[in-house]
Structure 1
Amino acid sequence: MTEESVFEESSGNVFADLGLEDAEELFTRGKIGIVVLHLLKQRNLKQREISKLLGIPQPEVSYLMRGEFQRFSEGKLLTFLKRLDTEITLHLRPRHAGTQTGETVVSL
């Protein structure tokens, strides 16, 4: 006897799919944090060097490198991008009628 697999289509935001209240904020932090992490890994820096570059204590670098982006505000993560010489462009527009949440776009 085999069990039938059940699949549920994702909304594109795992935090919303889990029913978390601050899902959009967590999703945005995750998207920004992944870009920060990608840029840091490209530079192949030691945690001590990252600490100095980003202006945060070494234990916070450990959280960042483990992907614990919920520990940092969106503003702090954007500051990290600035310190990594990344140009940040913010596009603001009204939501489309009928949608409950806005869209966050982060790209390299």
Structure 2
Amino acid sequence: MTVDYETSSGNVFADLGLDNADELFIRAQLGIQVFKIIRERNLTQKDAAELLGIKQPEVSAIMCGKFDRFSQERLIGFLNRLEQKVVIQVSPHLEGEPYQHVAIS
């Protein structure tokens, strides 16, 4: 039995053919970090909302993975409020690599 499959580019949004795939992928990566920190700190949605300076329904959106509701800048701001340093590095683009990338340390 042969199974047909397609190798991923590493960006599910690009694989789906979405126009703003790079931006969606970056937002997802940033949002996942916000989600993980909230969960690791065992913050209630109310406490997370207060810490991030947003309303509880917006925390709920983060916890449900609805990162497309937030801009990259806003997600970076949330990370800063969670005492995370965000480094932006600019370098020449090499063929075959994504134009945007988030590295987690």
Q: What TM-score range do you get, normalising by the shorter chain?
A: over 0.9
* Residue in structure 2 matched with residue 105 of structure 1 by the alignment: 102
From 83, 92, 99, the equivalent of 2:90 is 92
In structure 1, the partner of 2:76 is 78
Hey, what's the Cα distance between the residues in 2 that align with 1:35 and 1:70?
14
Alignment coverage as a number of residue pairs = 105
Calculate percent identity across the aligned residue pairs. Answer: 44
Cα distance, 1:100 vs structure 2: 7.5
Give the TM-score taking structure 1 as reference length: 0.90
**Contact between 2:26 and 2:100, CA under 8 Å: does it hold in 1?**
no
- Residue identity opposite 2:14 in structure 1: A
1:12-23 aligned at under 5 Å gives the runs: 12-23=10-21
Which 4+ runs in 1 deviate beyond 4 A? none
Structure of larger gyration radius: 1
Displacement of 1:99 in angstroms is: 4.1
Q: Provide, for residues 60-98 of structure 1, a one-character-per-residue CA deviation record: whole Å limited to 9, x for no partner.
A: 1110110100000000000000000001111111212x3
User: Structure 1: which 5+ residue stretches go unaligned?
Assistant: none
